[in-house]
Structure 1
């Protein structure tokens, strides 16, 4: 649904805006890469354009910190969380593509996050993060449970 809306917006954008505003075309390039699931290409599209101060807030909201050294930090974190939730094992090559890094950098990055590596098969073992949920105990619920158990016992 979202990709269809984006394509419609692009098709209905006047040619003059597309031609005279290179940032619009650069943003569309990012959208195209996302739409085709070219995750490595997303990083390329972000880095290859020198964004104006007006567009920096928009790009920064998507990618994280600005200037370009840190452009893809937030996107990398999002992709890492996606990989972590979707895979139990994944190749080093695919991980590097998804994270927009070299294979060595991607391997080092995930090892720091606790993942395992099998260099012989060039595979990574995902370490699932333990989700800690805090349970709040409602005293009235505890009282009801106590009364119910007491009733069952007598």
Structure 2
């Protein structure tokens, strides 16, 4: 029995990653951490901190991600560049540096295990930002749209034109196509307020 207590069963986590159920990662890691802590196992060196952090970031729970980061041993923070890189994404989200989130994603060469989760997060994040822009603007500059969606101006133009926006080439402004709001797309007014403040900060 002693032997079993010291081995961690990561099969649930491995299965969740393999099946792209990234929204389950944070809960699986939290539960497993509580379990091994209760058993008195010294798990710190073997713990998948980067995945645990990324699980909370993927789920949009930055407070929990901060808690995981703060409770991490200093040796892990100093010796695992990928953990630091994941937290770099978390920091940008925490400070609402929307463009910085994409910079943090692009500025690290992610490991094969982490890369698909980061890519899925990036894709979801772009979709969320797009919904915020649709809800918050009737017109917006090409430059600001590119910043918010983490793309070049050419790529962002292609992306939003497919979504039905129109471009005034001379003014470099998009006219936003409003979508019929379904219950899923109801927007948190505080998010819209933060977005407006961010654009104001960009432009002044």
Both proteins in one fold, TM over 0.5: yes
In which range does the TM-score fall when normalised by the shorter chain? 0.5 to 0.7
- Identify the residue that residue 155 of structure 2 maps to in structure 1: 105
Alignment of 1:1-154 (within 5 A): 2-56=61-115, 58-63=117-122, 73-131=123-181
Question: Closer, same or farther in 2 for the Cα pair 1:86/1:21, shift >3 Å?
Answer: same
Aligned Cα RMSD in Å?
2.5
- Gaps in structure 2 of 5+ consecutive residues: 1-60, 184-204
Mean CA deviation greater in 5-14 or 19-28: 5-14
Conserved? CA contact 2:139–2:173, under 8 Å: yes
- Whichever of the two has the greater Rg, that structure is 1
C-alpha offsets along residues 83-134 of structure 1, whole Å, 9 cap, x if unaligned?
112211111111000111122221222112111222333221110123579x
Once residues 62 and 106 of structure 1 are traced to their aligned partners in structure 2, the CA distance between those partners, rounded to angstroms, is: 18
Once residues 182 and 103 of structure 2 are traced to their aligned partners in structure 1, the CA distance between those partners, rounded to angstroms, is: 36
SS at match of 1:117: strand
Q: TM-score, normalised by structure 1?
A: 0.67
Once residues 177 and 117 of structure 2 are traced to their aligned partners in structure 1, the CA distance between those partners, rounded to angstroms, is: 33
Q: TM-score, normalised by structure 2?
A: 0.53
